[in-house]
Structure 1
Amino acid sequence: MPIRREHRFFYPIDWPQLSAVIRFGRAGGWCEGCGRPHGRVIHHLGDGRWWDADTGTWRDGRGKALVVLPELDELIGRLRTTRVVLATAHRNHDTSNNADQNLAAFCQRCHMIHDRPEHQRRRWRTLFRRRASGDLFRGPYQPTH
């Protein structure tokens, strides 16, 4: 995932090399959350279940082989494809802690799920600041729809 301009100074200067070591050295080019392979186009159902062409099995959102396979009507109506791209995530969201155990190689889906609480926190802070600024300079906040 691209690093926002305002957050770039939180990352070390050698972040691209460190990220490559985690994604391809330690993880071997596979997502550490669900096992999806980097750079490949995979078939998925949009709810975490995906087709592992290497083993010929359906897997769940954590990479475990499914015991109950998707029904045919689920496949026809919902089958999608996506290219998997790995990114390095900070497990504790602290960009100054670049210890090996704090870094993880995640695909786009796993990275977004992992970062969801942090994104919600930031969204709340942004809304709170906008409301406070509006109350301070323009009177009580009036939500727009």
Structure 2
Amino acid sequence: MPIRPENLHRYPRDWPEISARIRFVRAGGRCECSGQCGLEHPGGRCPAVHGEDHPDTGSEVGLTTAHLNHQPEDVREENLLAACQLCHLRIDHGHHRVTRSLTLAARAAAAGQLGLLPEATLVRTEPPTPPRPTRGRVPAAALHQLPFPEPELEAS
């Protein structure tokens, strides 16, 4: 994942070395995701390997380092995960949606537009992650359906 210029100051100076150590020394060049992305991987761990074709998307895997708590300042081993692009994007999906909403609201406010509910405050919540790409195979129903609660029926 490219680092946005406005966030560069949040990463430690030795981030390239930390990231390389996580991806290639600790993870051995293979995605470490074991369900943090919301998927059940065959064998318990994502099979994607750096430089090879991704088993689901077919694109070349570029291993990344994900911050599980979405805070770049936190470079503790337990907060970092070597992840393929698919797993990393799924891990960050909810965070990206919330950040985009906040950015658009701030941009609109700066332009002088009032929100529909000016007294309401935006609260960060993590929405469900999107379904996994199927790339020509029949998806397993349990992996590709987001859990939605059944509506409660009113007693009359």
TM-score tier after normalising by the smaller chain length: 0.5 to 0.7
The corresponding residue for 2:110 is 133
1:99 matched to 2:76? The reply is yes
SS at match of 1:104: strand
How many angstroms apart in 1 are the aligned matches of 2:13 and 2:82? 19
How many angstroms apart in 2 are the aligned matches of 1:106 and 1:140? 39
Native 8 Å contact 2:23 2:65 kept in 1: yes
Structure 1 residue 133: deviation in Å? Answer: 2.5
Q: What TM-score comes out, normalization by structure 1 length?
A: 0.66
Structure of higher RCO (CA pairs closer than 8 Å, 6+ residues apart): 1
How many angstroms apart in 1 are the aligned matches of 2:114 and 2:97? 24
- Superposition misfits of 4+ residues, deviation over 3 angstroms: none
Deviations 1:35-64 (A, max 9, x none): 3101112453x5xxxxxxxxxxxxxxxxxx
> Identity percentage over the alignment?
44
In structure 2, the CA distance between the partners of 1:27 and 1:43, relative to structure 1 (3 Å rule), is closer
> Match for 2:49 among 10, 19, 37?
37
How many angstroms apart in 2 are the aligned matches of 1:129 and 1:42? 37
Superposed CA RMSD in Å reads 1.6
How many angstroms apart in 2 are the aligned matches of 1:43 and 1:91? 23
SS at match of 2:81: strand
How many angstroms apart in 2 are the aligned matches of 1:7 and 1:118? 15
How many angstroms apart in 1 are the aligned matches of 2:4 and 2:105? 21
Q: Which amino acid aligns with 1:107?
A: C
Structure 1 residue 94: deviation in Å? Answer: 1.2
Q: What TM-score comes out, normalization by structure 2 length?
A: 0.61
Deviations 1:77-114 (A, max 9, x none): xxxx2100100011111111111011000000000000
The corresponding residue for 1:27 is 27
The corresponding residue for 1:84 is 61
Q: Which amino acid aligns with 1:35?
A: P
Number of residue pairs matched by the alignment: 103
Q: Which amino acid aligns with 2:83?
A: F
